């Protein structure tokens, strides 16, 4: 049977990192080649690449590029890469995968000879492990969906946001492959329109039908009885199960609870941050208000209007029916369940 998985957002090729420029989709498929860590950090900041797992993998390759640029690549101390590590870590503050991947690269650097080769192997391992985790989560999440399910997803959580296959969209892919899903809805996801531009494009590339819904219409959709599951990803999950994800996720969780739809969060364990007690401690990124006031460089708001532009919101754990990671599934996660599955740490 087909796997419905044709898209990849990044590749290491001939000593450089190539990123599919997601800002130009769906109109144009253009790859940007990064040959130093500064270009990688800028690409993350500018949302050439986005999605917490993909950001982590991209940053890992950025460390490799920083090491390759050292005067003596065969003898590198951690202190020599400190500036690069800080620059990459600061590119997007909410996605915990970024710091997790950089931590692995930092640890790898202190292990012995041939640092560049070791760092490249570690980055490739992070890359491969993410894809394997996504496929496992796809199977675990799909098992929760009854045949005939209708699903709604938010933002883009597919191959474009990961190493491939996706998190929430990976569950949808696998459930579609098993013929458990009859309808896929995607919210448009303002202001960057990741649902309209990226999720719809990605599903179309894989031959999966999708119906777009305006962000403001999702409550009506659910009240009409047309959604059985809302399935979303995460950028950071606190120790009590609170979930930071793309702005609008909290609203979807409230609507789902009000209208009898179930709410599933799908994310790799590298997204879990057991150092934060709850969602109030999760840093929320705010971006330039022009992203809200304009579309594609064309201003749509009235002159003089200002914008409040948080990129993420926090969904309380009490609204989450199932948390799916590659380590297993938590029904209605809470602090005790999170400690049982993840202990005091985070990551795989």
- Please report whether residue 1 resides in a domain: no
Number of domains in the chain: 2
Q: How far apart are CA 302 and CA 141, in angstroms?
A: 44
Active site positions, annotated: 235
**Domain edge (last residue) among 134, 151, 167:** 134
- Please report whether residue 60 resides in a domain: yes
How far, CA to CA in Å, does 94 sit from each of 8, 82, 134, 283, 339?
23, 20, 20, 6, 22
Q: pLDDT grade, residue 1 (50/70/90)? A: very low
As a whole number of Å, the end-to-end CA separation of the chain is 30
The partner residues of 184 in beta bridges, in order of sequence, read 151
pLDDT for 2 equals 56
Both 111 and 143 in a single domain? no
pLDDT for 346 equals 57
Both 16 and 121 in a single domain? yes
- Print the domain residue range for 275: 138-342
Q: What is the CATH number of the domain that holds 296?
A: 3.40.50.10470
Both 153 and 127 in a single domain? no
Both 33 and 93 in a single domain? yes
Both 104 and 175 in a single domain? no
Both 146 and 208 in a single domain? yes
- Per-residue pLDDT for 112 more than 80? no
- Please report whether residue 348 resides in a domain: no
Q: What is the CATH number of the domain that holds 92?
A: 1.20.120.420
- Please report whether residue 108 resides in a domain: yes
pTM higher than 0.85, yes or no? yes
Both 170 and 99 in a single domain? no
298-299 and 294-295 as β-strands: parallel, antiparallel, unpaired? antiparallel
For 35-64, write each residue's pLDDT tens digit: 999 999 999 999 999 988 999 999 999 999
For 170-212, write each residue's pLDDT tens digit: 999 999 999 999 999 999 999 999 999 999 999 999 999 999 9
The partner residues of 230 in beta bridges, in order of sequence, read 152, 263
């Amino acid at each position: 049977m087909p796997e419905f998985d044709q898209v990849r957002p990044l590749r290491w090729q001939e000593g450089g990192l190539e990123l599919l420029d997601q800002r130009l989709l769906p109109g144009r498929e253009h790859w940007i080649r990064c040959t130093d860590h500064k270009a990688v950090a800028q690409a993350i900041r500018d949302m050439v690449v986005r999605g917490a797992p993909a950001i982590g993998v991209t940053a890992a390759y950025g460390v490799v590029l920083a090491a390759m640029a050292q005067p003596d690549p065969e003898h590198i101390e951690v202190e020599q890469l400190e500036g690069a590590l800080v620059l990459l870590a600061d590119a997007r503050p909410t996605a915990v995968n970024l710091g997790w991947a950089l931590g692995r690269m930092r640890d790898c650097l202190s292990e012995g000879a041939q640092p560049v080769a070791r760092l490249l192997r570690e980055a490739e391992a992070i890359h491969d492990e993410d894809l394997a985790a996504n496929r496992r989560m796809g199977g675990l999440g799909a098992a929760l969906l009854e045949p005939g399910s209708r699903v709604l997803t938010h933002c883009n959580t597919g191959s474009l946001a990961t190493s491939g296959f996706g998190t929430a969209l990976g569950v949808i892919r696998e459930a579609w492959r098993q013929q458990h899903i009859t309808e896929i809805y995607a919210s448009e996801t303002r202001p960057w329109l990741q649902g309209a531009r990226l999720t719809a494009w990605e599903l179309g590339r894989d031959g999966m039908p999708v119906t777009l819904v305006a962000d403001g219409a999702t409550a009506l959709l659910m009240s009409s009885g047309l959604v059985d599951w809302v399935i979303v990803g995460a950028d950071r999950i606190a120790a009590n199960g609170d979930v930071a994800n793309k702005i609008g996720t909290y609203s979807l969780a409230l609507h789902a609870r009000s209208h009898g739809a179930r709410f599933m969060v799908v994310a790799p364990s590298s997204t879990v941050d057991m150092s934060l007690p709850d969602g109030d401690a999760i840093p929320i990124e705010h971006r330039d208000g022009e992203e809200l006031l304009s579309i594609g460089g064309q201003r749509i708001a009235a002159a003089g209007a200002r914008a409040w532009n948080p990129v993420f919101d926090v969904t309380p754990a009490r609204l989450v029916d199932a948390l799916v990671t590659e380590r297993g599934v938590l029904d209605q996660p809470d602090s005790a369940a999170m400690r049982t599955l993840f202990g005091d740490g985070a990551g795989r």
